[in-house]
Amino acid sequence: MSLAAVDQKRLQDFLLNIRNKTDQFLGYPVSKDFDFQPFADFLDLPLNNLGDPFVESTWKVDSRQYEREVVAFMADLFRAEKDNFWGYVTNGGSEGNLYGLYLARELYPKAMVYYSQDTHYSVKKNLHLLGMENIMIKSQPNGEINYNDLHGAIKMHRNRPAIVFANIGTTMTEAKDDVRLILEILEDLVVTEKYIHADAALCGGLAPFISPRIPFDFQDGVDSISVSGHKSFGSPIPCGIVVAKKNNVEKISRSIDYIGTLDTTISGSRNGHTPLFLWYKIKSLGKKGMQKRVDSSLAIAQYAEQKLLEIDIPAWRNDNAITVVFPQVEAWIKEKYQLASANGITHLVLMPSIKKSQIDSFVLDVSR
C-alpha cells in the first residue's frame, strides 16, 4: 500500500501541526507524557476485547488478560472488597458514568437521581437515554454540591430509592463532592435503597495519592467509580476504566442471562489496544511513579496559582487540586493555550508533563 506524494505531504504537515498543538495546550486535563512506540507492532493486529473481560470467549485475538489486571489494579487503588469487584476498560469516563447509572437503574428502577449543577455535560444526556428521573442540585461557589439543597431534595422524595451521582473533580474547578457527607444525608433521611456513583474522570488517578485522603472510594461508601484513562494516565486513544461491585453486576447479568447472553459491557466490540496501554502505564510507573507524578502536578499547580496572583490575577484552587481557576482571559490567549471557559471563568489543568517554563510564558502573555 502506498500513498500519493500529495497525501503523504498532507499527513506529514498534519503531524507537525498536531505536535505543535499538543505542546501548546494547558487547559485540558489530558496527559502528554507517554511513549507507546513499543506497541507499534500491535497496530497490525485486529485486537478486540469482545464482551465481558471476565468470561471466556471463543474469540482469542484479545488483550482481556491485561484488561483484567488493569481493572484489578484500579479496584485495589479504589479499595474495593478483594473478591467483590468487576469492571472493564471503557472508551472514556463518559461511558463509565453511563455504565454506573445503567447498573444503578437496573438495581433501583424507580429511583430518583441527584447530581449537581457542575456535573459533566454528558450526564444529562445519559440520564435522558436511560429514561431516569432526575433532579439537579445547586452547587457551591467552589463547584462542590450544596449539601443543604441535596438534603432538601432527597427529603421531598424520601419514599423513593436514591441514586447520587457524585463528582470527584468537576470539569471546571476540580471540586470534589464529599461521599461521607452524602451518605450521612441518606442515613439521616433513612433512605436505605441507595446507590452512589463516583465520576472520577480526572481525579480517579490522582485522589488515591493525595493526603489527607479524599473520601471517594468503595470503603467510603460508593458503589461504582468511573475514571478516564487518557486524562491522569495518558493514552493516544481515549479510554477509561469503570469499577463496580461484582454482587451488583451479577444481579443484572442474571437478568440478561435470561435472554441468553452475557453482554455485560455497553459496547459489544471493544478496544483491545487501550487495555495494553493502561497496563503498560501501570507496570512502568507503579504506585510509586504515580505518587511522584501527582506530587509534581500539585507543585506546578501551586506555582501557577502563585505566579498569577503575583500579576494580580485572582487565581484560586480547590484543596489539593491541579486545576487553577481564574477569570476569563483575552480571546487570543484562550486560543493559543486552548483554554476551556464557562460562566466567566477559565482554568489551567496542570497535568504531569507541564513545565514551569510553560507557566512562565503563559503568565507573561497574560500580563501583557
Ligand X SMILES: *Cc1c(COP(=O)(O)O)cnc(C)c1O
**Which parts of this chain interact with ligand X (CB under 6 A)?**
92-94, 120, 122, 167, 169-171, 199, 201-202, 228, 238, 240
Least gap, CB of 173 to ligand X (angstroms): 10
Cβ distance to ligand X smaller for residue 105 or 230: 230
Least gap, CB of 200 to ligand X (angstroms): 8
Least gap, CB of 119 to ligand X (angstroms): 7
CA angle 216, 282, 206 (to 5 degrees): 30
> Greatest CA separation found in the chain?
70
Cβ distance to ligand X smaller for residue 49 or 235: 235
**Nearest-angstrom CA–CA distance, 77 and 209:** 9
Least gap, CB of 24 to ligand X (angstroms): 20
Residue number of the CB closest to ligand X reads: 93
Least gap, CB of 183 to ligand X (angstroms): 20
Residue 136 forms beta bridges with which residues?
A: 115
Cell of 54: 471476565
Contacts of 303 (CB under 8 A, 6+ apart): 356, 359
Contacts of 56 (CB under 8 A, 6+ apart): none
Classify 129 as helix, strand or coil.
helix
Least gap, CB of 202 to ligand X (angstroms): 5
Cβ distance to ligand X smaller for residue 28 or 84: 28
Cβ distance to ligand X smaller for residue 93 or 208: 93
- What is the spatial order of strands in the sheet that 345-349 belongs to? 323-327, 345-349, 341-342
Burial of 327 (0-12, 13-18, 19+ CB in 10 A): exposed
Least gap, CB of 230 to ligand X (angstroms): 6
Cell of 86: 468487576
Cβ distance to ligand X smaller for residue 84 or 122: 122
Q: What H or E segment, with its residue span, contains residue 361?
A: helix 356-367
Cβ distance to ligand X smaller for residue 253 or 271: 271
**320: left (phi > 0), else alpha (psi -120 to 50), else beta?**
left
Classify 163 as helix, strand or coil.
strand
355 touches 303 (CB < 8 A): no
Cβ distance to ligand X smaller for residue 100 or 161: 100
